[in-house]
Amino acid sequence: MGHGAGGRLTRSLVKDLFLPLFSNPALEVLSDAAVLPAWPGGRPALTTDAFVVEPLEFPGGDLGRLAVCGTVNDLSVSGARPLWLTLALVLEEGAEMNLVRRCAESAAEAAREAGVQIVAGDTKVVPKGRGDRIYAVTAGLGSVPAGRDWGDHRVAAGDALLVTGPVGDHGATIMACRHGMAGEALRSDVAPLNGLVEALAASGAPVRALHDPTRGGVLVTCHEVAERAGVRIVLDEEALPVRGEVRAVCDLLGLHPLSSPCEGRALVFVEGGSEELALSALRSHPCGAGAARIGHVEAVRTGASPVAVRTVSGEERPLDLLSGAELPRIC
Amino acid sequence: MCLAIPMRLVEKDGWEGTVELNGVRRSVSLMLLEDAEVGDHVLIHAGYAIGKVDEEEARLTLEGLERIAASLESEGP
Amino acid sequence: MEEAGFRDPRAVAALLRAAKAEAATLRRPLVLMEVCGTHTHAIAEAGLRGKLAPEIRLVSGPGCPVCVTPVGYLDRAEALSRQRNAVLCTFGDLFRVPSSTGSLERLKAEGGDVRVVYSPRDALRVAAENPGREVVFLAVGFETTAPTIAAALEEAEGEGLSNFMILPGNKTVPMPLRVLAEDPELRLDGFLLPGHVSVITGSEAFSFLARDYGIPSAVVGFTPTDVLAGVRDLAAQRSAGRAGVSNLYGRAVTPQGNGAARAAMDRVFRRDASDWRGLGSIPDSGLALRESLVHRDASRLAVDVPAPEEPAGCLCGEVLKGAVDPPACPLFGKACTPDLPVGACMVSSEGTCAAYYRHERWRASGGVA
Ranges A53-57, B27-31, B47-51, C342-346: which has the least confidence: C342-346
Is 70 exceeded by the pLDDT of residue B23?
yes
At B46, is the pLDDT very low, low, confident or very high (cuts 50, 70, 90)?
very high
Residue of A nearest to C91 (CA): A329
The whole-angstrom separation of Cα C359 and Cα C366 is 13
Q: Do C196 and B1 touch (CB under 8 A)?
A: yes
C216 CA: distance to closest CA in chain B (Å): 21
Cβ contact A327–C92 (<8 Å): yes
Q: Give pTM, 2 decimals.
A: 0.90
At residue C352, the pLDDT reads 84
Contact B26 A180 (CB under 8 A): yes
Q: Tell me, what's the pLDDT at A217?
A: 95
Q: Is A237 helix (H, G, I), strand (E, B) or coil?
A: helix
The pLDDT score that the predictor gives to residue A130 is: 59
- pLDDT band at A132; cut points 50, 70, 90: low
A249 to B24: CB separation less than 8 angstroms, yes or no: yes
Q: B24 in contact with C at a CB cutoff of 8 Å?
A: no
Chain B: list its partners (3+ Cβ pairs within 8 Å): A, C
> Which residue among C47, C105, C365 sits closest to A317, beta carbon to beta carbon?
C47
Picking from A177, A252, A260, A329 by the largest number of B CB atoms within 10 A of its own CB, the best residue to mutate is: A252
Chain A residues with CB-CB distance to B27 below 8 A: 180
Distance to chain C for A126, nearest Cα, Å: 17
Q: How far is A256 from chain C (nearest CA, A)?
A: 12
Task: Please give the pLDDT value at position B53.
Answer: 96
Q: Is the confidence at residue A308, as pLDDT, over 60?
A: yes
Residue A266 scores a pLDDT above 50: yes
B45:C144 CB<8 A = yes
Which domains are present in chain A? 2-144 (3.30.1330.10), 152-318 (3.90.650.10)
Question: How far is the alpha carbon of B75 from chain C, nearest alpha carbon, in Å?
Answer: 10
Residue A324 confidence (pLDDT): 57
Average pLDDT rounded to a whole number, residues A95-104: 90
